[in-house]
Amino acid sequence: MSQQGRSDAPQIVIGLAMTRDGLPGRHWGVPGNTVEVTTVAPVKDDLKGWKLSRCVLVGDAGTVSQEILNPSARAGGKTS
């Protein structure tokens, strides 16, 4: 069931990691009723082995919070 309470329209949340050239590298899917702020930490853990020099997170207001942004900034990320 979706977070909007619509049992007639099941939802899933899709995450996609892409290379600098725009090629898909990894994807994630979670049920639509998953609390969004809980989806970032597992994705970050999955990406640790990629040795990234830069990462851009695109998310809506439910995904991005100070709780998520502060640890990312301490890890060398830039937030705006």
Considering its fold, how many domains does the chain have in total?
1
Asked, for residue 6, whether it belongs to a domain, the answer is no
Asked, for residue 61, whether it belongs to a domain, the answer is yes
Neighbouring C-alpha atoms within 13 Å toward the C-beta of 59: 25
**Greater confidence, 63 or 10?**
10
C-alpha pair distances (Å), 51 with each of 7, 13, 23, 44, 46: 40, 25, 17, 11, 11
**Shortest CA distance to 17 belongs to which of 35, 36, 44?**
44
Q: Report the distance separating Cα 4 and Cα 57, nearest Å.
A: 24
Asked, for residue 20, whether it belongs to a domain, the answer is yes
Residue range of the domain that includes 53 = 12-74
Question: Is the predicted pLDDT of residue 1 greater than 70, yes or no?
Answer: no
Asked, for residue 49, whether it belongs to a domain, the answer is yes
Tell me: the pLDDT tens digits for 14-58?
Answer: 888 888 888 998 999 988 888 777 888 888 888 888 877 777 777
Asked, for residue 2, whether it belongs to a domain, the answer is no
Asked, for residue 60, whether it belongs to a domain, the answer is yes
